[in-house]
C-alpha cells in the first residue's frame, strides 16, 4: 500500500478510536456499580431509549413513504424535495430546535392553533423530545432507504404488476421486503442519531429530569459538577450504541447478505 494513503488512514483510525479508549481508561471501574445506581441515571437512560425508539418509529412511518416518493414517483420538483429533506442533515441541531420552537411552541404558527384548540402545549414535554429527535434523525433514514430503493431492481415491480398487484400491494409484498436490509440499516442510523441528539432537544424540549433530560443532556450537565459521573454516563451510552449496532448487524443487516 502506498504511504501517502496508508499514513493518513492510520492517523484517521487513531483519531477515531483514541478518544473512546481514553474514555475506557479514565472510567472509575471500581466505583461503577454505585455510580450507575445513582438516582436519575436509570431515568435518563430509560427516557433516552424510549424517545429514540419512538422517534425511529415515527421516522419509519413517515420516512419510508417519503423515500419511495423520492425514488420512484415521477413527481415534478423531486430534486427540490430531496434538497429540502436533507436540510436537517446539515443544519446545526440548535437551529433546528429554534425552528421547531417557532413553529410548534405555544406562540408558534401551528403551536398557537394547537394550544387554542386542545390546550396542549408541546415544548418542554417528552413528546417534544421525540419531535426534536425525529426532526434531526429522519433524514438519515430517508437517505438510506432512498438509496436502497434506487439500488433495488424496479423490474421486480413490473413483474408484480403483470401478476395483478396494484402499486400498494407491490410496495407491501415486493418492494418493502426487497429493501428491508436498507430500511434496517437506515433505522439503526436513525436510532443512533436520535439517541445522541442534544442541540435540538435542549432548545425545544428543555432539560427537565424525568421528562426531557435524555442521556446526552445528563452527561453534559453532570460533567460540570461531577466529571466521574459524566464518564460513567458516557460509558453507558457508548455501551448501548455498540450493543445495538452489533445486535442489529447480526439479526437484520446480515440477512440480505446470506440469501
Partner 1 sequence: MSLVAHVVVRRGTLALDVELAVADGEVLTVLGPNGAGKSTVLRVLAGLLRPDGGRVEVDDEVWNSPDAHLPAHERSLGMVFQDHLLFPHLSVTENVAFGPRTRGTSRPAARAAAEDWLARVGLAGLGDRRPGQLSGGQAQRAALARALVGRPQLLLLDEPLSALDARTRLTVRAELHRHLGDYPGSAVLVTHDPVDAMALADRVVVIEEGRVVQAGTPAEVARRPRTDYVARLVGLVLLAGQGAGTQVALDGGGTVAVAEDVGGPVFVAVRPESVALYLQRPVGSPRNVWPLRLAAATPHGSVVRCDLAGEVPLTADVTATSFAELGLAPGAEVWASVKASELTVYPR
The only residue of 29, 158, 242, 254 in contact with partner 1, by rule CB under 8 A: 158
Among 159, 242, 243, 246, binds partner 1 (CB under 8 A): 159
H-only helix segments in the chain = 3-26, 32-37, 41-72, 78-90, 93-104, 111-118, 126-151, 155-162, 167-170, 176-178, 180-195, 199-204, 215-225, 227-248, 254-258
Piece in contact with partner 1 (CB under 8 A), picked from 49-57, 64-72, 76-84, 163-171: 163-171
Interface residue with partner 1 among 74, 79, 118, 259 (CB under 8 A) is: 259
Cell readout for 72 is: 420512484
Give the binding range for partner 1 (CB under 8 A) out of 11-19, 58-66, 166-174, 235-243: 166-174
- Residue 42 gets which letter from DSSP? H
216 near 196, Cβ under 8 Å? yes
Q: Look at residues 109, 90, 89 and name the one whose alpha carbon lies nearest to residue 99.
A: 109
Q: Show contacts with partner 1 in window 94-153 (CB under 8 A).
A: 153
Is 68 or 198 the residue whose CB approaches partner 1 more closely?
A: 68
- Asked if residue 166 binds partner 1 (CB under 8 A), the reply is yes
Instruction: Cell numbers for 118, please give them.
Output: 386542545
- 247 by Cβ neighbours in 10 Å (0-12 / 13-18 / 19+) ranks as exposed
Cell numbers for 24: 475506557
Residue with Cβ nearer partner 1 (187 or 231): 187
Interface with partner 1 in residues 17-76 (CB under 8 A): none
Stretch of 8-16, 27-35, 110-118, 157-165 lying at the interface with partner 1 (CB under 8 A): 157-165
Task: Please pick, from the candidates 169, 210, 249, 251, the single residue that binds partner 1 as defined by CB under 8 A.
Answer: 169
By beta-carbon proximity to partner 1, the closer residue of 116 and 166 is: 166
Residue in 6, 9, 75, 163 binding partner 1, rule: CB under 8 A: 163
Toward partner 1, which CB reaches closer, 31 or 158?
Answer: 158
Q: How far is CA 97 from the centre of its chain?
A: 15
User: Using CB under 8 A, which of 164, 224, 225, 257 touches partner 1?
Assistant: 164
Closest CA to 140 of 76, 99, 195, 103: 195
Of 132, 174, 187, 200, which one interacts with partner 1 (CB under 8 A)?
Answer: 174
Q: Please, which residues have CB within 8 angstroms of residue 192's CB and are 6 or more apart in sequence?
A: 241, 244, 245
By CB under 8 A, name the binding residues for partner 1: 153, 155-156, 158-166, 169-170, 173-174, 177-178, 180, 259
Amino acid at each position: 500500500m502506498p504511504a501517502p494513503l496508508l499514513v493518513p488512514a492510520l492517523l484517521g483510525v487513531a483519531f477515531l478510536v483514541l478518544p473512546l479508549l481514553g474514555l475506557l481508561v479514565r472510567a472509575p471501574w471500581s466505583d461503577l456499580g454505585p455510580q450507575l445506581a445513582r438516582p436519575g441515571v436509570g431515568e435518563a437512560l430509560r427516557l433516552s431509549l424510549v424517545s429514540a425508539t419512538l422517534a425511529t418509529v415515527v421516522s419509519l412511518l413517515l420516512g419510508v413513504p417519503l423515500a419511495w416518493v423520492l425514488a420512484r414517483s415521477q413527481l415534478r420538483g423531486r430534486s427540490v424535495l430531496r434538497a429540502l429533506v436533507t436540510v436537517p442533515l446539515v443544519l446545526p441541531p440548535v437551529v433546528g430546535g429554534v425552528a421547531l420552537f417557532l413553529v410548534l411552541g405555544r406562540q408558534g404558527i401551528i403551536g398557537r392553533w394547537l394550544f387554542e384548540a386542545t390546550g396542549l402545549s408541546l415544548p418542554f414535554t417528552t413528546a417534544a423530545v421525540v419531535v426534536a429527535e425525529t426532526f434531526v434523525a429522519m433524514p438519515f433514514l430517508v437517505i438510506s432507504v432512498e438509496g436502497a430503493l434506487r439500488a433495488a431492481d424496479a423490474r421486480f415491480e413490473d413483474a408484480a404488476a403483470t401478476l395483478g398487484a396494484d402499486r400498494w400491494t407491490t410496495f407491501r409484498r415486493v418492494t418493502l421486503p426487497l429493501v428491508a436490509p436498507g430500511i434496517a440499516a437506515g433505522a439503526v442510523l436513525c436510532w443512533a442519531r436520535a439517541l445522541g441528539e442534544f442541540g435540538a432537544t435542549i432548545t425545544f424540549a428543555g432539560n427537565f429530569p424525568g421528562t426531557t433530560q435524555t442521556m446526552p443532556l445528563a452527561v453534559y450537565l453532570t460533567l460540570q459538577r461531577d466529571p466521574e459521573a459524566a464518564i460513567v454516563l458516557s460509558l453507558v451510552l457508548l455501551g448501548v450504541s455498540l450493543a445495538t449496532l452489533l445486535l442489529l448487524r447480526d439479526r437484520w443487516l446480515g440477512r440480505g447478505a446470506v440469501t
